[in-house]
Amino acid sequence: MTGFTFIDLFCGAGGCSLGFIEAGFEGVFAADHDKNAVQTYQLNLGDHVRCIDITDQISLPYADVIVGGPPCQGFSSAGLRRLH
């Protein structure tokens, strides 16, 4: 383990978080507004995830890294929902 921590904003179901966890980072906070994605994240990666709108004022815990991924085009309501 590296001893480093991370926060994942727009975490979805946790694909980016999984990569960081497998690299030895510890997730201390994750957030997404999609309740189904948050439930999936929580089931697979832990209870440090919250279903919130991050445009609201929020307090973030200390972390060494903050990550945030672009929407998955095949699933996101922000995308065109094209699989290829």
| 72 catalytically annotated | yes
**How far is it, in rounded angstroms, from Cα 70 to Cα 83?**
15
Phi, psi angle pair for 69, to nearest 5°: -100, 160
> Strands of 5-9's sheet, edge to edge?
49-51, 26-32, 5-9, 65-68
| 21 contacts 45 by C-beta, under 8 angstroms | yes
Catalytic pick from 11, 16, 51, 72?
72
Active-site residue numbers? 72
